[in-house]
Structure 1
Amino acid sequence: MFETLKSFAEEIVADYGYIGIFLVAFTESIIQPVPPDPFITGGTAFGLNVITAAIIAAIGSVLGGIVGYFLGKFLGEPFVKKFVKEKHYEKGELLFRKYGIWAVIIAGITPIPFKVICWLAGIFEMPLGGFILGAFLGRFPRFLAMAFLGQYLGHL
């Protein structure tokens, strides 16, 4: 499985480079299920610049997150509940009510599905500026760690 993922990441990076990383990060924050991490790691393992890859991924993820935020805001709770289990929705609401920006930061760093948090931030009318700040503060360190991991693996 690792070899297949490695080959796929290498192909994406060879064909699309930073644009591929941006597009995967952008779309993952809205709806698609594949996280950008293996593409960032693969990209830097195959020679992309660590800082540039992390920044581009973070910007793509935050911009995609803004799209998800507005989809949540305008499509609202009934639409989202068609795709999100009730227990996850309730956990998300509790998370936002209790932690605010920290909920976004935590979701950005951890394996919590970031797209769900983006949509919920819009539904629960989190201030957009706080959402953007939290998204960048969560996503950039995660992607930077993945980029450094790729650089390390590329030198093995």
Structure 2
Amino acid sequence: MLQRLYNSTMQLANHPRALWVLAFVSFIESSIFPIPPDVMMIPMILARPSRAWLIALVALVFSVLGGLLGYAIGSFAFEQIGQPILASLGKADAITEFNTRFNDFGFWAVLGAGITPFPFKVITIMSGWTGMPLLTFVATAVLARGIRFFLVAALLWKFGAAIREFIEKYFGIISTVFLILLFGGFMLVRYM
């Protein structure tokens, strides 16, 4: 089923109104949809490199707006909507333990999920459920999603189709290593 959904999302990248479809996919991916916007961004940017920055901006804005929907689901409808979504992603067992530790590392959780392939919707819902300060959530979501989408856009704009396979294969690993190094740097500065 996910492969069929992935293929359908890829085909929408060729739609005449692909930018609007990207906005919609970016919005719902941050709260309920399992396929990330990158799936559409890559072919859209390869087809029209001059629009790379606009495509990344649309993905960023609507991803953060969708993140606010996820935050609202966590805040106001966790039991009815949020918990079933997280259970469908296999995250139901860790909900209680996650809640107790989440706000201690909330900035890092949002940053990590926003940059890496970790499902961003899990963090948006959990941010609302645990009561993370809304301003912290929004600022971190903008930072994380901006890094992710503009980095993909920059690589595709600069290197074109040659970098596509590299992004699809290694972006998750590279972004995770980047996040670990960033976190390690902050901890080093903090405790020195």
Relative to the length of structure 1, the TM-score reads 0.83
CA distance 1:11–1:126, shift in 2 (3 Å)? closer
Cα distance in 2 between the residues matched to 1:34 and 1:119: 17
Aligned residue for 1:109?
A: 115
The worse-fitting range, judged by mean Cα deviation, of 87-96 and 121-130 is 87-96
The worse-fitting range, judged by mean Cα deviation, of 81-90 and 54-63 is 81-90
SS in 2 for 1:98: coil
CA distance 1:52–1:89, shift in 2 (3 Å)? same
Aligned residue for 1:47?
A: 48
Can you give the 5+ residue segments of structure 1 that lack an aligned partner in the other structure? none
Cα distance in 1 between the residues matched to 2:23 and 2:101: 28
The worse-fitting range, judged by mean Cα deviation, of 57-66 and 30-39 is 30-39
Which amino acid is the alignment partner of residue 74 of structure 1?
A: F
Aligned residue for 1:87?
A: 93
Cα distance in 1 between the residues matched to 2:107 and 2:47: 35
Q: 4+ residue runs of structure 1 moved beyond 6 angstroms?
A: none
Sequence identity percentage: 33
Cα distance in 2 between the residues matched to 1:42 and 1:104: 27
For these two proteins, the number of residue pairs brought into alignment is 152
Larger CA Rg, structure 1 vs 2: 2
Are the counterparts in 1 of residues 56 and 153 from structure 2 also a CA contact under 8 Å?
Answer: yes
Aligned residue for 2:29?
A: 28
Following superposition, the deviation at residue 11 of structure 1 comes to: 4.5
**In structure 2, which of residues 136, 141, 149 is the aligned counterpart of residue 143 of structure 1?**
149
Deviations 1:16-42 (A, max 9, x none): 232122111111011011110121111
SS in 2 for 1:70: helix
Correspondences of 1:58-97 after superposition (within 5 Å)? 58-77=60-79, 79-84=81-86, 85-90=91-96, 92-97=98-103
Can you give the 5+ residue segments of structure 2 that lack an aligned partner in the other structure? 1-5, 164-192
Which amino acid is the alignment partner of residue 36 of structure 1?
A: P
Which amino acid is the alignment partner of residue 24 of structure 2?
A: L
SS in 2 for 1:82: helix
Are the counterparts in 1 of residues 12 and 18 from structure 2 also a CA contact under 8 Å?
Answer: no
Relative to the length of structure 2, the TM-score reads 0.69
Report 1 or 2 for greater relative contact order, CA contacts < 8 Å, sequence distance ≥ 6: 1
Aligned residue for 1:123?
A: 129
Are the counterparts in 1 of residues 78 and 129 from structure 2 also a CA contact under 8 Å?
Answer: yes
Matched, 1:99 2:105: yes
Which amino acid is the alignment partner of residue 133 of structure 1?
A: A
